[in-house]
């Protein structure tokens, strides 16, 4: 995809990545991802963020559609993670007089990641940079989601270049703007990006939103995903809600089953949720990647977990999900539990322990059964699903 004009003199010069399978070598990219880079052409020329190293040449070709890369005056780094800074070494060779601008902590990462000496200038929070008829203001937003992150605001055009904040997974299909794209396809990937990448930094996200509240923002240009020109407040609202971990009034049921007994109970619990009047999503932990499990748990207020005992503890896929939720500091969840065992129990007790550590609200009945569930035990599962649904509805009234 070649350069695209945001407003006169400001261009998207990023790239789409449809070949990388795992973001950060962890998170699946079934719909790809974009690396958004922005070129501002004034009396001085600034490039805001670059792209991942293997795509550096494509970035340079996009820049060359507008200007010679040697004319770059500033390389502004909102975030030093290599998917945004990977083209810095090449650009410094093509534009040796360009100054690299970032927060003080970004300077150490420029040296550590690329062994670039000289040419870096730290910027302060609130510092203004004149490009000619336009000016930029830099806002430090630490831990959204690295300690050196910042955002850059183009004052005259009211464009916020937000770095990883307000971004999402998904390559940009044909257009780059929110009013050109099918947002029903992108918003689930924005949520998965938020929960997987930014989620554990919810307090810094809230601080950043409050810090920028006074700005007039007509466009949000993040480092990944759609550029928001029609409804910039929409993506801010999503990040605000997700970072407060409110959860939608629904339930996600995540279960694991080795030989079908726990799955049988999961079906009955699911019927109870529907009888209780709550929207429901059912996911098999053994067949659904952790990144999708986490995203759905982040989406909904209600969470029901079911697993057999394995090696005297929690079934491994379920244990991995719980540890990830713990690591990402997911809070404010209403949760139900069920589990099976053969010769010895342990899964339900261990899941309870993790839930206590997370501070989640546990809804009764907790259903534990030996072998194949009896009719009476299945009725308990039905009651669990109904009770959880009713509790979620009450919590959000």
257 and 131 in a common domain:
no
Q: Residue 257 domain-assigned?
A: yes
DSSP letters, 370-389, are: ESSPPHHHHHHHHHHHHHHH
Q: Report the number of distinct structural domains present in the chain.
A: 2
229 and 259 in a common domain:
no
| Residue 66 belongs to domain with CATH number | 3.60.15.10
Which of 244, 259, 283 is a domain's end point? 244
pLDDT at residue number 117:
84
Q: Say what percent of the chain tops pLDDT 90.
A: 95
Q: Reply yes or no on whether the pLDDT at 341 is more than 70.
A: yes
**What are the C-alpha distances in Å from 137 to residues 81, 160, 180?**
21, 10, 28
Cis omega (within 30 of 0) on the bond before 145? yes
85 and 221 in a common domain:
yes
213 — pLDDT class (breaks 50, 70, 90): very high
Q: Are 259 and 203 in contact (CB under 8 A)?
A: no
Q: Residue 219 domain-assigned?
A: yes
Summarised one tens digit per residue, pLDDT across range 158-210 is: 999 999 999 999 999 999 999 999 999 999 999 999 999 999 999 999 999 99
197 and 141 in a common domain:
yes
Q: Residue 61 domain-assigned?
A: yes
Summarised one tens digit per residue, pLDDT across range 2-12 is: 899 999 999 99
Which of 244, 277, 300 is a domain's end point? 244
pLDDT at residue number 394:
82
pLDDT at residue number 345:
84
90 and 148 in a common domain:
yes
**Beta strand 22-23 pairing with 27-28:** antiparallel
Summarised one tens digit per residue, pLDDT across range 55-93 is: 999 999 999 999 999 999 999 999 999 999 999 999 999
Q: Residue 397 domain-assigned?
A: no
225 and 266 in a common domain:
no
216 and 274 in a common domain:
no
Structure tokens at 139: 């806002």
By residue range, what is the domain housing residue 38?
4-244
175 and 302 in a common domain:
no
295 and 193 in a common domain:
no
| Residue 255 belongs to domain with CATH number | 3.40.50.360
Selection from 330, 259, 257 nearest residue 298 by Cα? 330
195 and 88 in a common domain:
yes
272 and 222 in a common domain:
no
Which of 198, 221, 244 is a domain's end point? 244
230 and 82 in a common domain:
yes
Rounded mean pLDDT of 236-256?
96
Q: Reply yes or no on whether the pLDDT at 396 is more than 80.
A: no
Task: Give buried/exposed letters for 193-232 (b at 16+ CB in 10 A, else e).
Answer: bbbbbbbebbebbebbbeebeeeebebbbbbbbbbbbeeb
CA distance 281 to 341: 25
């Amino acid at each position: 995809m070649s350069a695209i004009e945001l407003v006169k003199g400001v261009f998207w010069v990023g790239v789409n990545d449809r070949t990388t399978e795992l973001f950060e070598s962890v998170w699946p990219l079934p719909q790809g991802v974009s690396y958004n880079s922005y070129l501002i052409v004034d009396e001085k020329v600034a490039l805001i963020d670059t792209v991942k190293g293997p795509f550096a040449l494509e970035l340079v070709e996009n820049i060359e559609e507008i200007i010679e890369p040697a004319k770059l005056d500033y390389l502004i780094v909102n975030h030093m993670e290599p998917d945004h800074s990977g083209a810095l070494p090449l650009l410094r060779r093509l534009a040796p007089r360009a100054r690299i601008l970032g927060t003080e902590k970004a300077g150490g990462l420029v040296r550590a990641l690329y062994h670039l000496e000289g040419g870096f200038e730290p910027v302060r929070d609130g510092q203004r940079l004149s490009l000619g008829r336009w000016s930029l203001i830099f806002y430090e937003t630490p831990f959204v989601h690295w300690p050196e992150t910042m955002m850059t605001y183009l004052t005259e055009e009211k464009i916020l270049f937000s770095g990883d904040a307000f971004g999402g997974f998904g390559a940009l299909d044909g257009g780059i703007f929110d009013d050109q794209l099918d947002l029903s396809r992108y918003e689930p990937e924005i949520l998965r990006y938020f929960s997987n990448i930014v989620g554990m930094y919810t307090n810094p996200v809230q601080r950043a939103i409050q810090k920028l509240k006074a700005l007039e923002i007509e466009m949000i240009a993040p480092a990944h995903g759609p550029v928001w020109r029609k409804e910039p407040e929409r993506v801010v609202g999503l990040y605000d809600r997700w970072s407060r971990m409110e959860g939608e009034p629904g339930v996600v049921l995540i279960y694991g089953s080795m030989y079908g007994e726990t799955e049988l109970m999961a079906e009955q619990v699911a019927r109870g949720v529907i009888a209780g009047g709550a929207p429901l999503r059912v996911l098999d932990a053994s067949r659904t990647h952790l990144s999708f499990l986490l995203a759905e748990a982040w989406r909904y207020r209600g969470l029901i977990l079911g697993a057999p005992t394995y090696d005297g503890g929690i079934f491994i896929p379920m244990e991995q999900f719980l540890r990830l939720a713990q690591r990402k500091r997911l809070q404010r969840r209403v949760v139900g539990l069920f589990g099976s065992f053969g010769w010895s129990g342990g899964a339900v007790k261990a899941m309870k322990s993790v839930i206590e550590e997370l501070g989640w609200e546990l809804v009764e009945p907790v259903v534990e059964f030996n072998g194949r569930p009896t009719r009476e035990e299945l009725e308990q599962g039905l009651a669990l699903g109904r009770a959880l649904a009713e509790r979620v509805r009450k919590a959000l009234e």
